[in-house]
Copies of this chain bind each other. A is one copy, B any other.
């Protein structure tokens, strides 16, 4: 029996010319039919943004021989939406892989990351999806150690599927020779901004966003802990943001006085 090769959508947020996406598409070509739809410029920190106020471009390009590639003027999430709707024409790919990001997307960075938001969008569309990120912002980052992990994780997702409404957030530490894989939860942490204030030639203030990440969670079951100890972290990630545990507490709040309020407010405006 001949197994059908899977159709693989490759996206990223560093832009279509980034070395990280080249590594990812090269690995994916070993196991499937690859289509790349990626931003035409760097889109780091775009989170789950979509483009509504201006039109989008989607252009087929020939960047690497034998690879079907499209560059998009929009965000990483726009890329996934256009890929599903205009490139795959509603025939969903078997898997959506995003990255490999130049820089970590563990902990709270899952929210800011265009790489992860593209994977989240894939999952929302019902496609098994994985985001990959390496702890190295450099254009010349060495992704070679990631390659066997990328293949193995992708093959396991293709073979096993993923639990309903979940995707994977995979992060690689900046070491040569990983100790293995740890299934983790997202570590608690946040960025403390240090805006770099400057004066332009017209004497007006402006700011560059800079900051440092503050880890607020020493749990040994977190992605931050795994990465700090040389492991590849894999966080099953979901897009249901409901704090289910908080529902009983909120139900104890008293809003009874409001139920008739709208009648009284009718005349106020």
Complex CA–CA separation, A237 to B240 (angstroms):
9
Q: Mark interface residues in A138-178 (1 if CB within 8 Å of B CB, else 0).
A: 00000011011100110010001011011010000000111
- With a cutoff of 8 Å between Cβ atoms, the chain B residues found around residue A186 in the complex are 240-242
Q: Mark interface residues in A219-240 (1 if CB within 8 Å of B CB, else 0).
A: 0000000000000001111111
- Counting from the closest, the 8 A-B pairs by CB-CB distance are A47-B48, A236-B246, A238-B243, A236-B243, A180-B259, A49-B49, A177-B262, A55-B206
Q: Which of A4-12, A29-37, A61-69, A188-196 contacts B (4 or more CB under 8 A)?
A: A188-196
Number of copies: 2
- With a cutoff of 8 Å between Cβ atoms, the chain B residues found around residue A75 in the complex are 49
Known A-B contacts A145-B265, A148-B258, A245-B163; A108 and B124 likewise in contact (beta carbons under 8 Å):
yes
Closest chain B residue, CB of each to CB of A257: B152
Q: Mark interface residues in A43-73 (1 if CB within 8 Å of B CB, else 0).
A: 0111111111101111000000000000000
Chain A to chain B contacts (Cβ below 8 Å), 13 pairs: A42-B53, A46-B49, A47-B50, A82-B207, A144-B268, A148-B258, A152-B258, A156-B255, A163-B246, A178-B258, A180-B259, A185-B240, A236-B242
Closest chain B residue, CB of each to CB of A223: B242
Tally of chain A residues near chain B (CB < 8 A): 99
Complex CA–CA separation, A198 to B58 (angstroms):
12
A95 within 8 A of B: no
- With a cutoff of 8 Å between Cβ atoms, the chain B residues found around residue A153 in the complex are 255
Known A-B contacts A190-B125, A237-B241; A209 and B86 likewise in contact (beta carbons under 8 Å):
no
Closest chain B residue, CB of each to CB of A48: B47
Known A-B contacts A42-B53, A55-B207, A243-B238; A262 and B120 likewise in contact (beta carbons under 8 Å):
no
Q: Do residues B45 and A50 form an inter-chain contact, with CB atoms below 8 A?
A: yes
A85 within 8 A of B: yes
Known A-B contacts A148-B258, A236-B250; A185 and B47 likewise in contact (beta carbons under 8 Å):
no
Q: Do residues B148 and A242 form an inter-chain contact, with CB atoms below 8 A?
A: no
- With a cutoff of 8 Å between Cβ atoms, the chain B residues found around residue A178 in the complex are 258, 262
Closest chain B residue, CB of each to CB of A177: B262
Q: Which residues A67-99 have CB closer than 8 A to chain B? A: 75, 77-78, 81-82, 84-86
